[in-house]
Amino acid sequence: MNQLISRLARFIMGSPARVLVLGFSAMITLGTCLLALPIAAAPGHSIGIVNAFFTSTSAVCVTGLVVKDPATDFSLFGQWVILLLIQIGGFGYMTMATIMALLLGRQLSLKDRLVLREALNVLSMEGLVRFTRNLIGISLLVETMGALLLTLRFALDAVFLSKHSLLDAIYFGIFHSVSAFNNAGFSLFSENLIPYRSDLVVNLVITTLIILGGIGFIVYSDLYRRYHGEGHQLSLHTKLVVTVTISLIVAGTALFFFSEFQHPETIGKLSLSEQLLVSYFHSVSARTAGFNTVDLSKLSTVALYLLMLLMFIGASPGGTGGGIKTTTFGTIVIDLWTTLRGQVEAGAYHRRIAAANVAKAYLITAIAFIWLTVASFLLLGVEHLETDKYFLRVLFEVTSALGTVGLSTGDGGILSFAALFNSFGKLVIAVTMLVGRVGPLTLGAAVLQSQEKSRVRYPEGEVLIG
Is the Cβ–Cβ distance between 25 and 446 less than 8 Å? Answer: no
CA 378 → CA 292, 370, 391, 398, distances in Å? Answer: 27, 12, 12, 11
Q: Which residues contact 72 (CB under 8 A, 6 or more apart)?
A: 42, 45, 190
Q: Give me the pLDDT at residue 11, please.
A: 47
Gyration radius (Cα) of the chain, Å: 22
Q: Give me the pLDDT at residue 388, please.
A: 66
Q: Which residues contact 156 (CB under 8 A, 6 or more apart)?
A: none
Contacts 24+ apart (CB under 8 A), 53-57: 53/28, 53/426, 53/427, 53/430, 54/418, 54/426, 54/429, 54/430, 55/31, 55/82, 56/28, 56/29, 56/30, 56/31, 56/32, 56/85, 57/28, 57/31, 57/430, 57/433, 57/434
Is the Cβ–Cβ distance between 301 and 75 less than 8 Å? Answer: no
Cβ-based burial of 70 (10 A; exposed 0-12, middle 13-18, buried ≥19) = buried
Q: Give me the pLDDT at residue 81, please.
A: 97
d(CA 167, CA 324): 39
Whether this prediction's pTM lies above 0.85 is answered by yes
CA 194, chain centre distance (Å): 21
Count Cα neighbours of 214 within 13 Å in the Cβ-side half-sphere: 40
d(CA 196, CA 156): 13
d(CA 15, CA 264): 53
pLDDT tens series, the chain, 466 aa: 555 555 545 544 456 667 777 888 889 999 999 999 999 999 999 999 999 999 999 999 999 999 999 999 999 999 999 999 999 888 765 565 555 555 445 555 555 555 555 555 555 555 666 777 777 888 899 999 999 999 999 999 998 888 889 999 999 999 999 999 999 989 999 889 999 999 999 999 999 999 999 888 888 878 877 777 656 788 888 999 999 999 999 999 999 999 999 999 999 999 999 999 999 999 999 988 889 999 999 999 999 999 999 999 999 887 778 889 999 999 999 999 998 888 878 888 888 898 888 998 999 999 999 999 999 999 988 877 666 678 899 999 999 999 999 999 987 667 899 988 999 999 999 999 999 888 776 666 555 555 555 577 778 777 766 6
d(CA 377, CA 102): 46
Read off the amino acid at residue 394.
Answer: V
CA 159 → CA 148, 163, 168, 192, 459, distances in Å? Answer: 16, 8, 12, 21, 77
What is the 3-state secondary structure of 161-178?
HCCCCHHHHHHHHHHHHH
Q: Give me the pLDDT at residue 322, please.
A: 84
Nearest-10 crossing angle of helices 200-214, 128-156? 170
Boundaries of every domain in the chain: 12-132+217-445
Is the Cβ–Cβ distance between 156 and 173 less than 8 Å? Answer: no
